[in-house]
């Protein structure tokens, strides 16, 4: 029983270490700036490429493409650090309470 508990503790420590590495490794600032500039340039020049083919529908198409691409970029920013208090972050308090409840279930009762 103690061997199994020791193996579980080592696995938990390994998982905590992996989470700390994720938390402490942000996306480099230069990458974020370059990505945003590339998106702006692409979305700004897209109407010029599509105006001959789609005419006034060009505005709708460019709006949809821009919305999708900037949305994907914003999702990347949101999931960069999943360990916070934002609405989209992992529910760490609930997970910790569940682990605590499960561990306390095995405590000897007097």
Residue 110 is predicted with a pLDDT of 67
Question: Whole-number mean pLDDT of the chain?
Answer: 87
Low-confidence residues in the chain, pLDDT < 70: 110
b/e sequence 4-21, b meaning 16+ C-beta within 10 Å: eeeeeeeeeeeeeeeeee
Q: What is the pLDDT of residue 20?
A: 86
Q: Which pLDDT score is estimated for 80?
A: 81
| The residue to which tokens 């529908």 are assigned | 57
SS3 label, residue 28: coil
The pLDDT, as a whole number, for residue 45 is 94
Per-residue pLDDT at 65: 95
59, 47 Cβ separation under 8 angstroms:
yes
Taking the C-alpha atoms of residue 79 and residue 100, their distance in angstroms, rounded to an integer, is: 26
pTM, two decimals, is: 0.65
Rounded Cα gap, residues 12 and 4, in angstroms: 12
Q: What pLDDT is attached to residue 105?
A: 81
Return the pLDDT at 89.
Answer: 82
């Amino acid at each position: 029983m103690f061997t199994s508990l020791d193996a579980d503790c080592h696995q938990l420590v390994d998982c905590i270490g992996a989470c700390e590495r994720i938390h402490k490794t942000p996306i480099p600032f230069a990458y974020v700036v370059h990505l945003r500039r590339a998106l702006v340039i692409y979305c700004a020049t897209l109407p010029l490429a599509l105006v001959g083919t789609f005419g006034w529908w060009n505005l709708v198409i460019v709006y949809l493409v821009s919305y999708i691409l900037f949305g994907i970029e914003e999702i990347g920013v949101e999931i960069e650090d999943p360990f916070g208090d934002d609405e989209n972050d992992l529910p760490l308090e609930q997970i910790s309470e569940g682990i605590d409840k499960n561990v306390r279930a095995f405590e000897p009762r007097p």
